[in-house]
Chain A
Amino acid sequence: MTLRVLDVRGRKVAIAEAGQGRPVVYLHGFADVHAVAADFQPFHQALAEKFHLIAPAHPGLNGSDELSDGWSINDIAFHYLEVFDALGLEQFDLIGHCVGGWIAAELAVRHPERIRSLTLIGACGLFVAGQPTADIFMHAQPERGVDYATLRNLLFSGSNSAAALRWYPNGRGDLDEETRRYQMLRFGSFMGFRPPYFYDRALVDRLHRARMPSLVLWGESDHMVPSTHGAAYANGLPVCSGLKIIPGAGHAIPLEFPAPTANECISFLARPS
């Protein structure tokens, strides 16, 4: 993997890249590359064996500058259009996880002509009445100053899962990892907090514009974004392979269940067109 800093109209954007072939852009989530891990994990590495995987860090994370002005989902969409322009990416496959999935969906309804296929993994972004995305900000405040059990439960299959304990341990973790976790929460607070909360009410009625082939992947027990959101995406996207559930998994399936998640993505991307 290489990590480089791209200049996008005066803004620094950190780009992680690996592999060769068809360009596949990956927009990350909370428990993910850039947002806690400095570099690619087994899920990303598996994709990079088949494709040219390009994963920009969201504004403010892992070497990317914060935006100086404007943090609405529209501003973020334009930020990424400028990133893709700077990368010279005309057409590409797009995968987004969690907040990255929301951004991916917003890009797909704006510029369907640039996106060959859309894969959403535990994506927020939709308003589903009575089924809110969980309050990650509340759970990011540790109990007794040191205990992140409820945050781990939100992001993973359970608070004692090995991946959860590796990336969100109790007490002070690795300084760089903690800083990236904070940067991701700050990004989420900027772009996803208002209107409440990690959604765009208008998005569901715009999904019909995303006419590229699409796949929706969800963990069986996602405690962060209810699987009803996955069903709503699968229902609204016009050329969707359906909602695929990873058994036994929580929210951050790329980190916790890398092999089945990568296999689903790869077989979807490699399907005969």
Chain B
Amino acid sequence: MASPVQLYCWHFMSYPYLAPDFDETNDTGWVTVPNSLWDRDKARGLYQQYIDQLAYADEIGFDGMVLNEHHQTIYGLGPSPNLVAAALTQKTRNGKIIILGNLLPLHMNPLRVAEEYAMLDNMSDGRIIAGFAPGSGPETFNYNIASAPSREQFWEAVDLIRRAWTQPGPFNYEGKNYPLRYVNPWPQPTQRPHPPIWIPGARSKDTLVQIAKHGYCYFLSSRSHGKETAKSVNQFAKVLEQYGSSYRPNRMGILMSCYVGETDKQAQEEAKDGIWYFLKNCLKGHQRREGRQLTFGPGVPYIPSDEFRDYLKFSDPTVPLLGDTQDWDDLQRSQSIIVGSPDTVYQRFMEILEHAPVGHLLIQFHLGNMKDELTRKSMRLFATEVAPRLREASAKQFGRDFPEIETTGLETVK
């Protein structure tokens, strides 16, 4: 039997206490959103609530918990996901802890990331999945990261960290960006040869090539799923073949958001506040045309100009983004935030998996200002009534479409 799809709970840790008129009175939720809006009294206990929700995911049988790094935004209060990961190593026993990821160009010395991830791998007894990301537009502004050289810095940092975990120290690293005379981190990670490495990507062929070459796992950093997701799987499969490997579901993951209620109607009713808060406020400045989107574009020129020229040729700047969603029908079409009864959610997830057979579903349950009890209820309904069916059906599908897995087992992603 092939391994089933792995189901993870992703928490973005959004700031939930914005006034109802935030969208009318503020032009962005990113970088320049005034931190005078932070309410110190209301925010007491917020991190605890979010950490407890993640621990709850572990308790009810999710395969892992996902954290990521953002700065100066209401979208995600995780400037240092490693701190939350450290708490989770002490509060959970089973699931993987996926940090997706530390933004390497923001670190003056990537060795610090090698050290902290190795500490976390020891503290969690080998449960860390090491995500590395280059950062995108917002980091240009909030951490003063020059966009143009950031990709090269990123890949050098990944190389340095991988060597720090695998090459006996001390050794001299003659990197262009991070030259180090004595690379010799204590501790070393628990997992051998090192924690699985996941890399997000979306537009760049170069990213896929690096992932394929080194045997990393590809996380498609897109929030909408339709034909494009299947296309991305095929594109990645082609690149893997060029580098002597072949596509397996466990080489790729995607991000979904979801709310499960008893019925479709009840799910919509319960989720609507959180979802519209998320779409209108958290995505303003990121995945919304209104205001100034900072994630990608000419002002954050991290891709080479010939790639940008192709993007110009094949894209339309007036096409709505996820945050421009107007109503439930729109939302349904984006295949990004799946809302409904256990049956509906199961079917919608399977539709996506049938077109895009990815082995890792990273699922956001807490959306915007969603209340604790609703978030937990949705997670519980998913874990008890959706996850078992998804696991069974996906194992069957993967076994049918990737018969070689049956004999070799789930190959380890390095």
Contacts and interface: CB of A to CB of B under 8 A. Distances in A.
A69 B144 CA distance: 21
Contacts of B313: 175
Interface of A: 60, 66, 69, 71, 135-146, 171-172, 175, 178-179, 181-183, 185-187, 189-190, 193-194, 196-197
Given A183-B305, A190-B149, A141 B144 contact: no
Contacts, number: 89
A179 B305 contact: yes
26 contacts: A60-B305, A71-B148, A136-B299, A137-B299, A138-B294, A140-B299, A141-B294, A141-B299, A141-B300, A143-B292, A144-B289, A145-B289, A172-B312, A172-B317, A175-B309, A179-B308, A182-B298, A185-B301, A189-B146, A189-B147, A189-B148, A190-B146, A193-B140, A194-B144, A194-B146, A197-B144
B300 A137 contact: yes
A179 B304 CA distance: 11
Given A136-B299, A145-B318, A183-B305, 17 more contacts: A69-B176, A71-B149, A137-B140, A138-B292, A140-B297, A141-B294, A144-B290, A146-B317, A171-B318, A175-B313, A182-B298, A182-B305, A186-B147, A189-B147, A193-B140, A194-B144, A197-B144
A142 B289 CA distance: 9
A141 B301 CA distance: 10
A100 B312 CA distance: 27
Nearest to B315: A172
A179 B289 contact: no
**Most A C-beta atoms less than 10 A away, residue of B147, B293, B299, B309:** B299
**Most B C-beta atoms less than 10 A away, residue of A141, A183, A194:** A141
A137 B141 contact: yes
Nearest to A170: B317
Interface string B280-307: 0000000001111110011111001100
Contacts of A142: 292, 297, 317
Interface in B299-352: 299-301, 304-305, 308-309, 312-313, 317-318
A196 B289 contact: no
A146 B293 CA distance: 11
Contacts of B289: 144-145
Interface of B: 137, 140-141, 144, 146-149, 176, 289-294, 297-301, 304-305, 308-309, 312-313, 317-318
Contact of B291 (A135, A143, A193): A143
Contacts of A193: 140, 144, 146-148
B318 to A, nearest CB: 6
Contacts of B176: 69
In the A-B complex, list the 5 residue pairs whose CB atoms are closest, starting with the nearest.
Answer: A140-B299, A193-B146, A189-B148, A186-B301, A141-B299
Contacts of A171: 317-318
A69 B80 CA distance: 32
A190 B294 CA distance: 18
